[in-house]
Amino acid sequence: MRILLVGAGGVGGAVVRIAARRGFFERLVVADYDPRRAEAAVAAAADSRFTAARVDASHEADVTALLAEHRCDVLLNATDPRFVMPLFRAALSAGAHYLDMAMSLSQPHPERPYAECGVKLGDEQFALADQWQDSGRLALVGMGVEPGLSDVFARYAADELFDDIEEIGVRDGADLVVEGMAFAPTFSIWTMIEECLNPPVVYESDRQWFTTEPFSEPEVFDFPAGIGPLECVNVEHEEVLLMPRWLKAGRVTFKYGLGTETIETLKTLHRLGLDGTEPVRVGGTSVAPRDVVAACLPDPAGLGDRMTGSTCAGTWVKGTKDGAAREVYLYHVVDNQWSMREYGAQAVVWQTAVNPVVAMELLANGGWSGTGVLGPEALPPLPFLDLLTAYGSPWGLREH
């Protein structure tokens, strides 16, 4: 397997460190708009299978040419969601398989944003599903941790643990603390603003997909591994759009344990217009307000040495098995001290990065296969969960 990795930030850098320990690929080209980031990621691997390149992820033709130049048969997208579509189309044009960890962007309903869906996450990608099917290539979308591993958990629950599913709820929480920082997101602030301030999507079998107000339906969820109870609220996330395509459930939600301080900070950014993505004039230049916010905050990839605690991603499922009510939480916990010691990557970016590497190894060894545009829940879960455990990062199951 020959891989083009686009994006050498925190997650991309962690992908390199994780993949360097595996033997399933022949070549991995690390490409970034900033060649210094790509070169630093390759240098950290100290492995002749890796090489660095420069590419602008927004230029589809340049990405297609880079895929051809290095004879890559897989493109792994580790950029933010703004670049999903040019990279997605470039892989299709080049005849390469494609993986990402977040899907094409949504657009709120123009008149009823907190009741009806407009353009949903992933709609642009699924619109090209027939072309991917005809190409004989696979676009595996949403293959990070959330979405990604959370979807694998949902498929495992449907296959192995339940006869009927009443509700699937992805629940994410952490007790991570960044020393000396009043507000320091542990992943991209650009993405955090996008998913937390957009109208959250909920799925119900009788209503299909609909939207609510941001931070709606608060509930307290007790997370494992000592993290404990956290208030979780609805945010927009890909799982709600993916799971109902392949799994039968009465309801699907995504709730995130953000905390009051983070919610108030995000609301303030919105009130001030600092969540905007359209450039505004500042003196003699133009800049998007959200990009200014991102530039003022620390790079999440560099926070690991100042972080303590763990992060938990998981899927809560409620239904019946053999006529009896059942409720479980399937989860994956990463301790920051462990990920920093073992990989030099902070817990959130490592937990995101490990899952596409596992998926690529399964594609390389035949454990997973398919064509068209698929989510993780479209594929058998046991090969993935077994290989994730073999990577040294086991998952857990808690009966409620």
pLDDT tens-digit series, residues 297-336:
988 888 999 999 999 999 999 999 999 999 999 999 999 9
Tell which residue, 356, 343, 197, has the closest CA to residue 269: 197
Mean pLDDT taken over the chain: 96
pLDDT digit string (tens) for 167-180?
999 999 999 999 98
pLDDT confidence tier of residue 181, bands split at 50, 70 and 90:
confident
- Kindly state the average pLDDT of the residues 353-363: 98
Distance CA 75, CA 55 (A): 13
189: pLDDT confidence band, cut at 50, 70 and 90? confident
Each as own residue / partner, the long-range contacts of residues 38-46 (CB below 8 Å, 24 or more positions apart, any chain) are: 38/8, 40/8, 40/13, 41/8, 41/12, 41/13, 41/16, 42/16, 44/13, 44/16, 44/17, 44/344, 45/16, 45/17, 45/19, 45/20, 46/20
Q: Is the pLDDT of residue 182 over 80?
A: no
pLDDT of 196-226, one tens digit each?
999 999 999 999 999 999 999 999 999 999 9
Dist. CA 168–CA 338, nearest whole Å: 30
pLDDT at 188: 83
Task: Find the radius of gyration of the CA atoms of the chain.
Answer: 20
* 3 state DSSP class of 203: strand
* pLDDT for the residue numbered 41: 97
Q: Would the pLDDT of 50 be above 90?
A: yes
Q: Are the C-beta atoms of residues 240 and 315 closer than 8 Å to each other?
A: no
